[in-house]
Structure 1
Amino acid sequence: MPEEESAGRPEVSRRRRANAPAGSKKRRDVWVTVEEEAALIARAEREKVTVPNLLVSAALSEGTDSPTERRGIMAELMQLHNLLARSSNNINQLARHANATGEVPVEAGEALKHLRSVARRIDAAIEGLM
């Protein structure tokens, strides 16, 4: 897919798993009842993944999080990453001003308080993954 087409679309919305470097090595057939098949299809549609992806994710996940929950966690971590980058840029600008003028800007205290709250959110997100 050319870069122009995928610009602005997050990679986490992909329904299929990424191709393995050496290709697919093993295939497993799973026999299910009609009711189980209907439940699998319904859940896969809710999670926006394929049935095989749902089965593999469920079987190999360490926790009980679903693909949708993992996408939510990824989105939160990306948001926190961007927030931390912007906050760090603000702190750098305040430090540059303080070094140039010898005066600490009034906004420095509030900026540091905000940076601490971002750090607490990151800690909470990491704890949520464990």
Structure 2
Amino acid sequence: MADAPVPSRVRGRRRRENAPGGRQHTHKVGVTAEEEALLLQRALEADVTIPRLMVEAALAEHGETSTDRRRLAAEFFHTRRLLASLANNVNQIARGTNAGERPGDELHHALRAVREVSAKIDELLPQLVSSR
């Protein structure tokens, strides 16, 4: 099952939103070259800036950031759309079968897709439970 790109409106911003009155406090943190590489890699994976990554990670409850929650919600919505499409396909196959047509390869493809989406849901559920 190919991963579809997450639309930018779901993905959100790389930078944090402006705070009313601005941010009066700044913190300077020195890191080694190895730490910088790791921070950059994680920030790119999360599609956020390094400062946002550090602030979210430090202020996260139970190790989960708002970026993580948004990404999880986007994955659930994407999986829900896939499931709705699959239900429609299975319904069309059932309608044809009830009309006397023999189910072809599309039945096997649809059932395999249902198993893949079910596996994706099984993969996402523990993340949802741990985020509570």
The structural deviation recorded for 1:116 is 3.4
Residue correspondence of structure 1 range 1-130 to structure 2 within 5 A: 10-11=7-8, 12=11, 14-18=13-17, 24=20, 27=23, 29-33=25-29, 35-36=30-31, 43=39, 46-48=42-44, 49-64=48-63, 73=72, 76-77=75-76, 79-99=78-98, 101-102=99-100, 105-107=103-105, 110=108, 111-129=110-128, 130=130
Q: Which has the higher contact order (CA 8 A, sep 6+)?
A: 2
Return 5+ residue gaps in structure 1 as ranges: 1-7
1:18 to 1:123, Cα distance in 2 relative to 1, 3 A = farther
Give structure 2 stretches of 5+ with no counterpart: none
CA RMSD of aligned residues (A): 4.3
CA distance in 2: counterparts of 1:14 and 1:114, whole angstroms: 32
Query: TM-score if structure 1 supplies the norm length?
Result: 0.54
Identity of counterpart residues, as a percentage?
36
Q: TM-score, normalised by structure 2?
A: 0.54
Give, in whole Å, the separation in 2 of the partners of 1:87 and 1:68.
29
How many aligned positions are there?
118
Deviations 1:22-51 (A, max 9, x none): x53673524334x24985797257514234
